């Protein structure tokens, strides 16, 4: 009996410590996958695969890349999804969040869109609407003014931004 308790305790400790040491190759797939995060994780996996190659093969691959690909082409292939599609997706995500009155989620999507395409007038127009609904009228005014300056007063986005700006005052 005296020996049973420490033995059981030792078995429990060994079992629990071995459970944490089991490597898992399964990837956790989130409910929402951002295209930018997905692409970043692919780059990290590619870099990890290249680092595990034997050094001789790695040198051969890098020499081949240096001689066959000009620097201009490597910059163009940095993103497999064109920026306008990403921005449009972010705008749609923001509009959906606005329809559900999730202002902070819409704000986050619009921040990402501005980061990708700082010259998008529609992004600033929608961002102005978000600030208006949050009650931050000074920021809403700034966003509408930015949308007008980017789109021009004669465009549809410019006219809508002007209308929203006049409604603020």
Residues 125-139 have pLDDT tens digits of: 999 999 999 999 999
pTM: 0.53
CA distance 140 to 135: 8
| C-alpha closest to that of 160 among 148, 146, 143 | 148
Q: What share of residues in the chain are helix, strand, coil (percent, to 5)? A: 75, 0, 25
Asked if residue 67 has pLDDT above 70, the reply is no
CA distance 145 to 112: 20
pLDDT grade, residue 63 (50/70/90)? very low
Q: How far is Cα of residue 122 from the mean position of the Cα atoms in its chain?
A: 19
CA distance 143 to 164: 10
Hey, what domains does the chain have and what are their CATH numbers? 83-168 (1.25.40.10)
- Give the number of other Cβ atoms within 10 Å of residue 168's Cβ: 13
- The angle at the Cα of 122, spanning 154 to 37, to the nearest 5 degrees, equals 160
CA distance 85 to 163: 28
Asked if residue 146 has pLDDT above 80, the reply is yes
pLDDT, tens digit, for every residue of 79-117? 445 688 899 999 999 999 999 999 999 999 999 999 998
Average pLDDT of the residues in 22-50: 58
Q: Mean pLDDT across the chain, nearest whole number?
A: 75
pLDDT at 34: 56
């Amino acid at each position: 009996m005296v020996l049973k308790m420490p033995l059981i305790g030792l078995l429990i400790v060994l079992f629990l410590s071995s459970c944490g040491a089991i490597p898992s190759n399964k990837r956790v797939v989130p409910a929402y996958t951002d295209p930018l995060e997905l692409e970043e994780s692919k780059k990290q996996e590619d870099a990890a695969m290249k680092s595990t190659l034997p050094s001789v093969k790695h040198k051969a691959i890098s020499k081949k890349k240096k001689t066959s690909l000009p620097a201009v082409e490597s910059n163009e292939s940095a993103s497999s999804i064109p920026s306008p599609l990403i921005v449009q997706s972010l705008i749609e995500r923001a509009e959906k969040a606005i329809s559900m009155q999730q202002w902070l989620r819409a704000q986050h999507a619009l921040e990402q869109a501005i980061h990708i395409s700082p010259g998008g007038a529609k992004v600033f127009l929608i961002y102005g609407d978000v600030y208006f609904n949050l009650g931050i009228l000074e920021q809403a005014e700034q966003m509408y003014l930015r949308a007008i300056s980017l789109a021009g007063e004669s465009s549809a986005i410019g006219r809508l931004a002007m209308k929203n700006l006049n409604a603020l005052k």
